[in-house]
Amino acid sequence: DAEITQSPRHKITETGRQVTLACHQTWNHNNMFWYRQDLGHGLRLIHYSYGVQDTNKGEVSDGYSVSRSNTEDLPLTLESAASSQTSVYFCASSEQGKSETQYFGPGTRLLVL
């Protein structure tokens, strides 16, 4: 079955370190998204991509970057982790032209000490 996976599921890191969160989908979807989920804020969009070599900033992109070298993967990099980036991160994908149904991964819980 097609799916979307994230790794690691849990991560503890220190302030200032670079961290990369992986997202892999096997639906062959063109659209991929990264969100963070925080109490009181719901889900907020970090970055998104509509296809290979395409990346775009979301509403909370500062301190994060993504790259899209193939259809299946959209890794999220925290350039220099900060305590404010402690959160749960969700990756999602959707089919081009059928944007409504986004399929979500299980999430990565990140703690920055």
Residue 45 or 67 with smaller CB distance to other proteins: 45
What's the rounded Cα separation, in Å, for the pair 90 and 104? 7
Interface contacts to other proteins, rule CB under 8 A: 31, 33, 40-43, 45, 48, 50, 58, 90, 92, 94, 99-107
* Strands of 16-84, DSSP E: 19-25, 31-38, 42-51, 54-57, 64-66, 76-78
17/98 with CB nearer other proteins: 98
- Least Å distance, CB 23 to other proteins, is 11
- Residue with structure tokens 């409504």? 100
Task: State the nearest-atom distance from the C-beta of 14 to other proteins, in Å.
Answer: 25
